[in-house]
Structure 1
Amino acid sequence: MQASVRPRPINPWLYLGIPFVTVVALVLLEWTSLDMDLAELFYDPLAGQFIGRHSYLLETILHDRVKQGVIVLGVLSIIAFALSFLWQRLFSWRRELGCLVLALALSTAFVTPLKQLTQVQCPWSLSQFGGKETYSKLLEPRPATDKPGLCWPGGHAATGFCLFALFFVLRDRKPRLARAALLLAFAAGSVLSVGRMMQGAHFLSHNVWTAVFCWLIGLGSYYLVLYRRRPVEAPAIQRNVA
């Protein structure tokens, strides 16, 4: 029988307030040139390409190998969840493992449909950076093109920020480990985001939007699967009334 775990209270100002403020800031960012200004810092006009465009570290290690590592984590999570129905030592972690599988799946699955829906161009495709496409912000109409963009939100950023799921899975059972997982997810997502910006694959806002989505998915999965759980109390013994 699965041991009961008392959920720790959720502070709505912390868990929802920060994402809300971030979204407001991202909308306001539409009226600035910050995305383009940062992209120009990573572009070498003499070479005619972004400084990390063909970097072995950024492309092979931080892109391919890290992505493969997260895929392995997802597969292991699915296997562990399946084993939790068979192996007694995992019985008590069944809900947490189910929450982890759900959050990881949703945190990576939402990217492609949104890319196809929004059709935002990548920096390396734009005329300002040696490409042929016309720049447009997220909330602006898309210019006519033969090749729609597939760059919003940041897909590789989700490889790091999907690890927010580990924080929510561990927060009730292992608070210290959960905080470490939170730092890991934020650091991994940030490093991968900057790496892709250096390659010209994404603007800053693309990756920040991804972080918000992954956080809300982790929070929603936690609330749906774990937060409503309550300790199982022994039934009261009824006294016989003479």
Structure 2
Amino acid sequence: MQQRTRSRPINLWLYLGVPVAVAVALLLLELTSIDMDIANLFFDPAAGQFIGRHSYLLETVMHDRVKQGVILLGLISLAAFGCSFFFKRLFGWRRELGCLVLALGLSTAFVTPLKKVTQVQCPWSLTQFGGTETYSKLLEHRPATDKPGLCWPGGHAATGFCLFGLFFMLRDRKPKLARAAFCLALVAGSTLGLGRMLQGAHFLSHNVWTAVFCWLIGLGSYYLVLYRRNPAQVPASEQRLA
């Protein structure tokens, strides 16, 4: 029988309240032009394109190679989870590995369906930046077009922010490593998102929304697979009914 690791207390006001507050702030920012203002900073009118549009570092290294690296991490995690049913050394980590596999899978799988539903245009496709499409915000009506947009939420940012799953996997057993994993996910997602903004592939809000979704998916996976309230956290009335 697999021994259960005692779950550390979790502050939902922090873990759930902060991302919800960020989501509300993003909705309020729909009333401003901040996305377009920031995108203008990365656009070179003289060249008629975004400053990172054809960057080898941004396109080949940060976009293609990093994505391949995260796919490899997902495959290794899945293989380790499968092996945990057969090798004793991995028995005790089975649930943690299952949580990681679930978080990584959902954090990357949700992007494409939402892109197809929302049909938000990329900055580089807009008339303001040399394209042919009309700009519309997330909650606005989409203008008629022969080529619907596929740019919300930020897909490549999810390549970094999906690593929040590592934080939740390690949270109860290795708190210090968990904090390092949180920083890694935050820096990786932000860096990859910024890279795509420099290329004109996304607005700032696209990437921040991705961070919110990936965090909530990681939190949900943790609650579903790993989190168990300690007896001291359970009210006496519930303990009597248990």
* 2:6–2:228 contact (8 Å) kept in structure 1: no
Matched, 1:124 2:121: no
One-letter amino acid of the counterpart of residue 161, structure 2: F
Within 5 Å, which residues of 2 pair with 1:1-242?
1-228=1-228
The structural deviation recorded for 1:40 is 0.3
CA RMSD in angstroms comes to: 0.9
The structural deviation recorded for 1:229 is 6.9
The structural deviation recorded for 1:2 is 1.7
Q: How many residues align?
A: 231
For residues 94 and 229 of structure 2, the distance between their equivalents in structure 1, rounded to whole angstroms, comes to 13
The structural deviation recorded for 1:3 is 2.1
For residues 113 and 141 of structure 1, the distance between their equivalents in structure 2, rounded to whole angstroms, comes to 19
One-letter amino acid of the counterpart of residue 84, structure 2: S
One-letter amino acid of the counterpart of residue 191, structure 2: V
For residues 97 and 24 of structure 2, the distance between their equivalents in structure 1, rounded to whole angstroms, comes to 33
The structural deviation recorded for 1:177 is 0.2
One-letter amino acid of the counterpart of residue 73, structure 1: L
- What secondary structure sits across from 1:227 in the alignment? coil
Give CA deviations for 1:214-233 in whole Å, capped at 9, x if unaligned.
000000000000003769xx
The structural deviation recorded for 1:20 is 1.1
TM-score (norm 2): 0.94
* 1:5–1:229 contact (8 Å) kept in structure 2: no
Give CA deviations for 1:169-224 in whole Å, capped at 9, x if unaligned.
00000000000000000000000010000000000000000000000000000000
For residues 6 and 126 of structure 2, the distance between their equivalents in structure 1, rounded to whole angstroms, comes to 52
One-letter amino acid of the counterpart of residue 79, structure 2: I
One-letter amino acid of the counterpart of residue 204, structure 1: L
Give CA deviations for 1:91-140 in whole Å, capped at 9, x if unaligned.
00000000100000000000000000000000000000000000000000
The structural deviation recorded for 1:10 is 1.1
Deviation >3 Å, runs of 4+: none
Moved more, 220-229 or 47-56: 220-229
One-letter amino acid of the counterpart of residue 68, structure 2: Q
TM-score (norm 1): 0.94
* 2:166–2:182 contact (8 Å) kept in structure 1: yes
For residues 9 and 230 of structure 1, the distance between their equivalents in structure 2, rounded to whole angstroms, comes to 8
* 1:5–1:230 contact (8 Å) kept in structure 2: no
Kindly, what percent of the aligned residue pairs are identical?
79
For residues 41 and 206 of structure 2, the distance between their equivalents in structure 1, rounded to whole angstroms, comes to 17
- What secondary structure sits across from 1:150 in the alignment? coil
* 1:30–1:137 contact (8 Å) kept in structure 2: yes
- What secondary structure sits across from 1:214 in the alignment? helix
The structural deviation recorded for 1:4 is 1.9
One-letter amino acid of the counterpart of residue 209, structure 1: W
> CA 1:145–1:201 in 2, change beyond 3 Å: closer, same or farther?
same
For residues 159 and 148 of structure 1, the distance between their equivalents in structure 2, rounded to whole angstroms, comes to 23
Which ranges in structure 1 are unaligned for 5 or more consecutive residues? 232-242
> CA 1:99–1:229 in 2, change beyond 3 Å: closer, same or farther?
farther
